Structure 1
Amino acid sequence: MFLSGVFLSGLCSIVFGFLVNAPDGVPFISLCFVIQSFGAIGCASSMTSSFTILAHTFPKNITTALGVLELFSGLGFLLGPPLGGFLYALGGYEVPFIVVGFLVLLTVPVNMIILLSVQGKSSFSYHLLLVTYQALRSDKSLHH
């Protein structure tokens, strides 16, 4: 569920960036709703799974692990607008969506390797990867 959610949310971010080329009016609005709905499903499944994985990986330090995860989520919201504005200034509307989408998609194979290597074990690097993914996904302000 985690990996499929990460993949779906990254893919939807990239596709959403190309919606600027869609026909105006009802087709554009409909495509926006459909793509963002699928992206939200992917994001919700990956976030829910990441909290479950985090709780399973760090059963004695759940509050600390969730606090660190939320810290990086806040950093994503803090840094998103300036980075998104910078990317928009560099290349226009599509660039922030494409950059974030590809960064999220790059975490899929890395997550696959880490998930296979830490089955049943606690791992600081695994925790760091979940925090990084959370920060990237919370960087929704890049999309606005």
Structure 2
Amino acid sequence: MMFYLGIFITATCAVLFAFLDYIQDRSLFIALSFLVRIVQACGNAAEVTAAFTIIALEFPDSVATTFSALETCSGIGYIFGPTIGGALYEAGGFILPFTATGGLLFLMGIITYLYLPPSQEDCPDEVKKGAGFLNLIRIPTVAVSSFAIAVTSSGIGFLSATLEPYVRANFKLSPLFTGLIFIIVGGTYAVSAPFWGRVCDKVTQPKIITMVGSLLCILGFTLIGPAPFMPFQP
């Protein structure tokens, strides 16, 4: 139920955000934008959490590989999302990308409701007796892993908030070609996710992969800037 509710909330907020363009008052526009996006984030969190839970329960022997397959789908979204969004923006302005996204999410919600196997009515006893969030976050391994995930996710947001305006302002690219630049991020993500998931399941400990990934992120952001000590011009 939480999975379907999350999809419905996310889709509804996407459609609502499209019509904020009709608000003329600047302060009201900003306030409602924050409100809609906050509610949408809550819906997305519910949807993703439910999806991860379903995967963990259905594929307990290959969690990392299955999670990586799901992350590959996210990478595909990162590939086509900016490009298609830019094309829709050029074709229909501010409204079209958000209404198209919301409509597609509603359609996906209906399809998953019709074809997703029914879940068990009762949670397993080990799930009911499991530790709460605060107890889990006190475990050093869980805390460090959570921090690494939060920082990595923030990095993707940093690129959207800073790199896109920089490229558009300095290179005078259209929304379509600006979106094409972000294919690199999504493409690399989609291709590498299954590989790293397989490595976690079959080769080495996940903590080693986390360290390698963190070092690669540090290197990437150091080069994007570039950092002041790098011998490159921005």
Query: What's the TM-score, normalizing by structure 1?
Result: 0.78
Count how many residue pairs are aligned between Structure 1 and Structure 2. 121
Alpha-carbon distance in 1 for matches of 2:99, 2:39: 16
Alpha-carbon distance in 1 for matches of 2:110, 2:94: 27
1:104 to 2:105 alignment: yes
1:66 to 2:60 alignment: no
Alpha-carbon distance in 2 for matches of 1:33, 1:12: 11
Deviant stretches of 4+, over 2 Å:
117-120
Tell me what 1:43 maps to. 44
**What is the one-letter code of the residue matched to 2:22?**
N
**What is the one-letter code of the residue matched to 2:64?**
T
Alpha-carbon distance in 2 for matches of 1:111, 1:50: 11
Unmatched 5+ residue regions in structure 1?
121-140
Offset, 1:98:
0.5
Query: What's the TM-score, normalizing by structure 2?
Result: 0.49
Which structure exhibits the higher relative contact order, with contacts defined as CA atoms closer than 8 Å and separated by 6 or more residues?
A: 1
Unmatched 5+ residue regions in structure 2?
121-159, 161-178, 180-234
Alpha-carbon distance in 2 for matches of 1:80, 1:70: 15
Greater displacement, 92-101 / 51-60: 51-60
Alpha-carbon distance in 2 for matches of 1:54, 1:104: 20
Tell me what 2:96 maps to. 95
Offset, 1:118:
4.3
**What is the one-letter code of the residue matched to 1:34?**
L
The structure where helix makes up a greater share of residues is 1
Deviation per residue, 1:4-57 (Å, 9 max, x gap): 011000110011011100122111111101110100000011001110011112
Q: Report % sequence identity.
A: 36
For 1:6, what is the secondary structure of its paired residue? helix
